[in-house]
């Protein structure tokens, strides 16, 4: 299996522009696509991370954009259909496997794509397209075996405060190595005490980790 990891300029992509504008990070998957003689229609799903006010403004704004065809939102999970020019079709080749979701980091203003295929040429076509249109940096391209696939449905239901705490932790790099922020600063951002923030985050982690391992 050939595996490729790319980092791209978010400003060159529809959801990336929305993420930067409203300071909301996103992660999700393209599920499938169809086309007519004018457009490629991409069906996507994913989660939003950020300030509640910012997320509401993003949902309101995205509905006004000509690229949007359909949008359904429940809590922080969204299903949407967007339309893109026909020349983008190489990116959505059904022979491409996506081992991990797309990550849109609004602070870095970058997308991260993880792609895999048994056909090396297909991935090279994606890279050529991204180099021409999207402002790309290749982080990895090699032949290796995939050991796992990340699936969004493993995330359990969390309370609003638990989601907010975990969203901030992800957004500001608490889970990065090395950590980019400490819990005390995250608590200040959420405007709650350190102990309360820690409790919300630990409860969220306590629900997510066992849920994931039940699927193993």
Q: Mean pLDDT over residues 125-142, rounded?
A: 94
Three-state DSSP at 43 gives strand
Residues 6 or more apart in contact with residue 87 via CB below 8 angstroms? none
Percentage of the residues of the chain whose pLDDT score is greater than 70: 93
Question: In the predicted model, what is the mean pLDDT of the chain?
Answer: 88
Strand partners, 186: none
pLDDT of 144 higher than 70:
yes
Count Cβ atoms below 10 Å from residue 141 Cβ, excluding itself.
Answer: 15
> What does the domain layout of the chain look like in residue ranges?
2-143, 155-214
pLDDT of 63 higher than 70:
yes
């Amino acid at each position: 299996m050939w595996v490729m990891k790319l980092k791209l300029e978010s400003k060159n992509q529809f959801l990336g522009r929305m993420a930067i504008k409203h300071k909301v990070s996103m992660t999700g998957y393209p599920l499938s696509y169809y086309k007519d003689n004018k457009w490629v229609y991409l069906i996507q799903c994913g989660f939003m991370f950020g300030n509640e006010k910012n997320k509401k403004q993003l949902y309101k704004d995205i509905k006004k954009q000509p690229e949007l065809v359909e949008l359904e939102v429940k809590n922080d999970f969204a299903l949407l259909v967007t339309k893109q020019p026909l020349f983008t079709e190489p990116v959505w080749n059904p022979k491409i496997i996506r081992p991990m979701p797309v990550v849109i980091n609004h602070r870095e203003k970058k997308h991260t794509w993880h792609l895999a295929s048994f056909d090396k040429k297909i991935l090279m076509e994606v890279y050529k397209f991204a180099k021409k249109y999207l402002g790309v940096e290749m982080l990895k391209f090699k032949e290796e075996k995939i050991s796992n696939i990340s699936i969004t449905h493993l995330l359990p239901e969390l309370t609003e405060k638990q989601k907010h705490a975990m969203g901030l932790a992800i957004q500001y790099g608490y889970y990065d190595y090395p950590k980019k922020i400490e819990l005390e600063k995250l608590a200040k951002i959420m405007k709650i005490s350190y102990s309360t923030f820690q409790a919300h985050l630990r409860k969220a982690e306590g629900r997510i980790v066992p849920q994931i391992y039940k699927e193993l």
